[in-house]
Structure 1
Amino acid sequence: MRPMQIDFAAAGWRRTLYRSHPLALAAGVLGLALLTAGGVFGVQAAQQQAAREENLRAQQRKQAAAVRAPERKPETVIPEAQAVAVNAAILQLNLPWRDLQDAVAAANTPAVALLALDPDPRKQTLKITAETKNSDDMVGYIEQLKQQEFFAGAALLRHEINDQDPNRPLRFQVEVQWRAR
């Protein structure tokens, strides 16, 4: 006959541990150890994340403060000659080239050959050097320039006949004043 186990005592944790299989106990202890280790690592990861977020907020505050109050760099002193050269270049770049070219082209006739256009942005004047065969064409060209809306006036500066050329062209220079827009 097989032995019978008769136990009338109330169930408790000690009796449960005593009657448990040793592998179940080992698995329980291992699970408890893993759970504890996971908790410890989780807390450490949360602390590291909080530290990173605090560093990020501090950097953002520094950047916001830098944007609000930019560093004052010492002003560089520009030499007078350099300032004059830069201003002259800006005036030259801001010339109304398209308007000048359109007005000169509208006044041009086939009898007049343009040789040079020399603008002076400070005075808002344009010196035109041209050639023609006779003085009537020269006077007609100057009158055409005066009639252009863009120009305020035109004046003959000088003229001469080129004796070295067999056609003996009349070379002249006209100064026109353009209107500011």
Structure 2
Amino acid sequence: MRELKIDFADTRRLPRSVTLALLAVSLALAATAVDAYRDARAALDYWHDEVAQRQAASSRAARTPAPARGVDKAAAAELAQAHEIAAQLALPWDPLFRAVEAATPADIALLGVEPNAQKRNLRLVGEGKDIHAVLGYVRQLEAQPLLRDVYLLDHGTSDADPQRPARFVIEAAWGSGS
């Protein structure tokens, strides 16, 4: 039988010119990536500033005084509705929904989320595995910094479902958080 020679350490090297060419290509690609990152960062900063300016403008529009006496009632009602919509759009919806999502465990199913922008409160309708899961959910909602005055308004069991889940209605106010 012939002897096999296995060399796990390959000692062959690329020619120096190939190595330098690969280095140059790598440096060019890295410079291109850094330039693309700077462009993307500048665009992101621009859009952040644009959103902040529009939110400030919508909050200023929400604080504008009532129309003068010469304006007809239909136009005044339309203007009031536009101010209400602008005020609702300026509210922090994303942090509010993230707080609810963070507090919702796997054994709770939310069937309805009803925010009221004027009263700054939130009504949650859902089902839990049992009443203990629902009470735990109320405690988790109370622990969210954005939510306060969390109350279990109504609860009961669903007799139509064989698993008899606990149905609930929870109301909470929201503020700026701490």
Change in Cα spacing, 1:136 to 1:91, as seen in structure 2 (3 Å) is same
Greater C-alpha Rg? 1
Residue equivalent to 2:155: 159
Q: TM-score, normalised by structure 1?
A: 0.54
The percentage of aligned residue pairs carrying the same residue is 34
Unaligned runs of 5+ in 2: 1-69
How many residues align? The count is 107
User: How far, CA to CA, are the matches of 2:83 and 2:176 in structure 1?
Assistant: 18
- Per the alignment, in what secondary structure is the counterpart of residue 81 of structure 1? helix
- Per the alignment, in what secondary structure is the counterpart of residue 86 of structure 1? helix
Residue equivalent to 2:99: 103
User: How far, CA to CA, are the matches of 1:163 and 1:92 in structure 2?
Assistant: 38
User: How far, CA to CA, are the matches of 1:97 and 1:83 in structure 2?
Assistant: 23
TM-superposed deviation, 1:160: 2.0
Q: TM-score, normalised by structure 2?
A: 0.55
TM-superposed deviation, 1:110: 0.8
What do the CA deviations read for 1:156-177 (whole angstroms, capped 9, x no partner)? 1111211112221111011111
- Per the alignment, in what secondary structure is the counterpart of residue 89 of structure 1? helix
Segments ≥4 residues shifted beyond 6 Å = none
What do the CA deviations read for 1:76-124 (whole angstroms, capped 9, x no partner)? 5453432342233223322311111111111111111111110001111
Residue equivalent to 1:149: 145
User: Is structure 2 residue 165 aligned with structure 1 residue 169?
Assistant: yes
Residue equivalent to 1:180: 176
Change in Cα spacing, 1:166 to 1:126, as seen in structure 2 (3 Å) is same
Change in Cα spacing, 1:163 to 1:84, as seen in structure 2 (3 Å) is farther
What do the CA deviations read for 1:41-73 (whole angstroms, capped 9, x no partner)? xxxxxxxxxxxxxxxxxxxxxxxxxxxxxxxxx
User: How far, CA to CA, are the matches of 2:79 and 2:176 in structure 1?
Assistant: 24
Unaligned runs of 5+ in 1: 1-74
User: Is structure 2 residue 124 aligned with structure 1 residue 128?
Assistant: yes
The one-letter amino acid paired with 1:115 is: L
